[in-house]
Amino acid sequence: MKRLTLLRHAKSDWDDPVKRDFDRPLNGRGERAAALIGQFAKSKGMAFDHLVASPAVRVIETLDTFFEGYGERLEPQWDRRIYLASSVTLIDVIRDIPDSAETALLAGHNPGLEDLILTLVADNGESPLRDEVEIKFPTASLAVMDLSVESWADVEKDCASLTSFTRPRDLDPALGPEA
């Protein structure tokens, strides 16, 4: 069995006048959310032995802040395919994770991450967490899935169970949707 944790980038700054979406940084609220999610991951004893991430600025900044809260750092494998990827592309990325990794962290974007969860976790009415993700996978959210595979190359539709789904607002209501 493999464990895959998904981290969506934190809230980015739409007011920053960057020329490309790829270069959009986090805003202050996003930084607070990423640090809090990192602290939460550490408090729950989450561990990762492989990290693959989008090289977009908002993902880089999310990871920097997440790891500050987490208290230790893991060097990412940057993969441009993750930037605005579909769930099909993300499955290809996952299948490329080395089998020496047991607990991988994938950091990226929506709608791809949300769609990935909805693809990997069966829609059989048995996962209330899946139902929550289907409503929305907000920025800086963290989802943990156990995959019923021995090799990352075997990842396919309905092979996962969603064991946890945490949004920043679950930890601090002030980080919930703005009124």
Residue 166 sits in a domain whose CATH number is: 3.40.50.1240
Indicate the DSSP class of residue 48: -
Indicate the DSSP class of residue 121: B
Q: Looking at the 3D structure of the chain, how many domains does it have?
A: 1
Helix (H, G, I), strand (E, B) or coil at 95: helix
Who's near 149: CB < 8 A, 6+ residues apart? 1, 2, 155, 156, 159
Indicate the DSSP class of residue 109: -
What is the rounded distance in angstroms from the CA atom of residue 155 to the CA atom of residue 2?
10
High-pLDDT (> 70) share of the chain, %:
98
Residue whose token pair is 């089998």: 99
Phi-psi region of 158 (alpha: psi -120 to 50; beta: other; left: phi over 0): left
Q: Which residue blocks in 8-136 are alpha helix, DSSP H? A: 28-43, 57-70, 87-95, 112-120, 128-135
- Its pTM surpasses 0.85: yes
Q: 79: which 2 tokens?
A: 């993969």
* Cβ neighbours around 119 below 10 Å, total: 20
pLDDT tens across 11-59, in order? 998 776 777 889 999 999 999 999 999 999 999 999 999 999 999 999 9
pLDDT tens across 96-142, in order? 999 999 999 999 999 999 999 999 999 999 999 999 999 999 999 99
Give the residue numbers spanning the domain of 72. Answer: 2-175
